[in-house]
Structure 1
Amino acid sequence: MMTRIARGIGFGGIAIALVATSVPAIAQDNSDSRIRKLEAEVRALQRQVFPGGDGRYFEPEITGQPAARPSVSTTNSTTAVTDILARLDALETQLQRLTAQYEVGGNAMRLLDERIEALEAANAPAPAPASTPSATATPTPTSAVTATPTPSPAAQPSPERVAAVQAIAKPQTDDPADDEYSYGFRLWEAGFHPEAQQQLTMFVEKYSDHWRATYGRNLLGRAYLDDGKPNDAAPWFLQNYQADKSGARAGDSLLFLAEAMIALKDTNRACIALAEFGDTYPALAAGRLQSQYERNLGKVTCN
């Protein structure tokens, strides 16, 4: 009897043991199945979020180890952020430099406008003096430059002068405008200033858009200045400077305008013109026109 009981107890213990050992196995199988299911769902979700399904977005197989994060390089991210910050710093530096250059240029333009306004003030005609029965108004050396050049009437030339002028040949090329200017230059060079004035006036009025126009206006002013008529010369110099400040003879005209003002004993306008010339045409002031510029500076005392 005892043997049977013992055997019963023995078989019962074995059964309990088998049941006890089978429970973790079943639980383990269930857990593995759930994990595989979850892994499959995660991979399906990853393929929807990251099309292509390559190793750049998720691992091909999920192991028992903790899942690795998407393979985004920390070094690459850090480098990209560093590059962006460096580019922002460079852009800010460039913006500061451009802002400074704009402010400097704006200040220079403001000063230039003020000086131009002062030069244009010379165009305002002076009020005519009250006339009296016993005296007539006469222009003074400090009279303002008129806006429109008004050539003085020339005296009737002698037959000898007419013959001498006619002896000067007029060029005949395929550029009639240049021929007219060249003829005026030859008259001026020969000392026939009234004839040069007439010829150059015709040229600048007829060919105002020609490339020689800046030369013609400047030379016309010189023809009057050399003829002892600074009041007639000054408007041509001013007009040539204002017409095209980058013209080939714009700087020359501004310097000759100062000479005309000196001849008229208008020190204030002479100083304005000289200061404008030095600021606008530093290369000419230190090069081709240096001696003339320094000579004019020595004739006036500017503040």
Structure 2
Amino acid sequence: MKLPVLVLCLVATAAAAPLALAQTPIDPLDARDVRRLDKMEQVVRELRAIVFQGRDIGKPVVVQPAETDYQLQEVSRRLADLEQTITRMTGDLENANRQAELAKRDAEALRTENRSLSDRIASLESRALAETVAPPGGLGGASSGLSANDLFSEARQALTSGDYAAAESGFREYVDAYGDSSKAAEARYWLGKALTARGAHADAAGSYIAAIRGWPSTSWAPDAVVELSRSLIALKKPADACQTLAEFAKRYPKASTTVKTRAAQARNQAKCAA
């Protein structure tokens, strides 16, 4: 194996250096000179090791150039990439926290709105029931000897024939006489229909509210909710009408297509938010 002349010279110089240093007086060295000297000695030791290694194994020895600067640059680049990644992840986390906070606020606002709606409906119900006054009898009633079924049937027939005054009177008497019966809520619904036909929207709203108390799962209940919203629109209370229609969508998702169409019309008329 052949080594560069410079390497051999350095090795020879390193071997003779201790003798030269021993014969020549040396001035005290500062710290920087000491470090430089240490580095030179380290290089000489490495060169000697290379020479001896080549002599022992008989093969060429390849000395790789130092890549310290490149490696430092690579480490710096990786650190910069890591900092960018951490910054991006921090931004994503902050954005997720903001979204979670907004969702929490929206949920709280929705709960507050639902409580407000329930309170308004209860207030409307109490006020409407308090304002409802039964007029004098028309079709008869318990005092006339008619049974509950007969009184209900006659009032219903009057409504169907367009005699809204007689229908109103008959259903009022039914509610007064049989208010605890199983058909009392339906009687209030039909009473609301008669009142709506006569333009008595405030009394009609009270009847509809009484009819749908507890949100019954009957065939006429979805229509009663829509009729209540229409009465509230006529009374210039669109906000209350929109809240009622929101309850309609939640309570009666399986209502008939006809009733849903009328609900959509009422929602447009009240200009409810989408």
Query: TM-score, normalised to structure 1's length?
Result: 0.46
1:295 correspondence with 2:265: yes
1:188 correspondence with 2:159: yes
Q: Structure 2: any 5+ residue segments left out of the alignment?
A: 1-109
SS for the counterpart of 2:254 is helix
- How many angstroms apart in 1 are the aligned matches of 2:208 and 2:164? 16
RMSD between superposed Cα atoms in Å: 3.3
Tell me how far 1:288 sits from its aligned partner: 4.8
Tell me how far 1:247 sits from its aligned partner: 4.1
1:139-192 Cα distance to aligned partner (Å, 9 max, x none): xxxxxx4634236789xxxxxxx9xx99xxx9xxxx932221111011111221
One-letter amino acid matched to 1:147: A
Q: Structure 1: any 5+ residue segments left out of the alignment?
A: 1-107, 126-144, 155-161
SS for the counterpart of 1:261 is helix
Matched positions, count: 161
Comparing both structures, which one devotes a greater share of its residues to helix?
2
Which residue number corresponds to residue 121 of structure 2?
119
Which residue number corresponds to residue 207 of structure 2?
236
1:149 correspondence with 2:127: no
User: Could you tell me whether the CA contact under 8 Å between 1:188 and 1:223 is conserved in 2?
Assistant: yes
User: Could you tell me whether the CA contact under 8 Å between 2:239 and 2:270 is conserved in 1?
Assistant: no
Tell me how far 1:301 sits from its aligned partner: 0.9
User: Could you tell me whether the CA contact under 8 Å between 1:204 and 1:217 is conserved in 2?
Assistant: yes
The percent identity for this pair of structures is 22
Return structure 1 stretches of 4+ with deviation > 6 angstroms. Answer: 108-111
Tell me how far 1:287 sits from its aligned partner: 3.3
User: Could you tell me whether the CA contact under 8 Å between 1:225 and 1:233 is conserved in 2?
Assistant: yes
Tell me how far 1:270 sits from its aligned partner: 0.8
User: Could you tell me whether the CA contact under 8 Å between 1:214 and 1:250 is conserved in 2?
Assistant: no
One-letter amino acid matched to 1:199: G
1:175-226 Cα distance to aligned partner (Å, 9 max, x none): 9322211110111112211211111011122222333222211000110011
User: Could you tell me whether the CA contact under 8 Å between 1:214 and 1:248 is conserved in 2?
Assistant: no
Q: Which residue, 242, 253, 256 being the options, matches 2:224?
A: 253
The alpha-carbon distance between structure 1 residues 117 and 270, as it changes in their structure 2 partners (threshold 3 A), is same
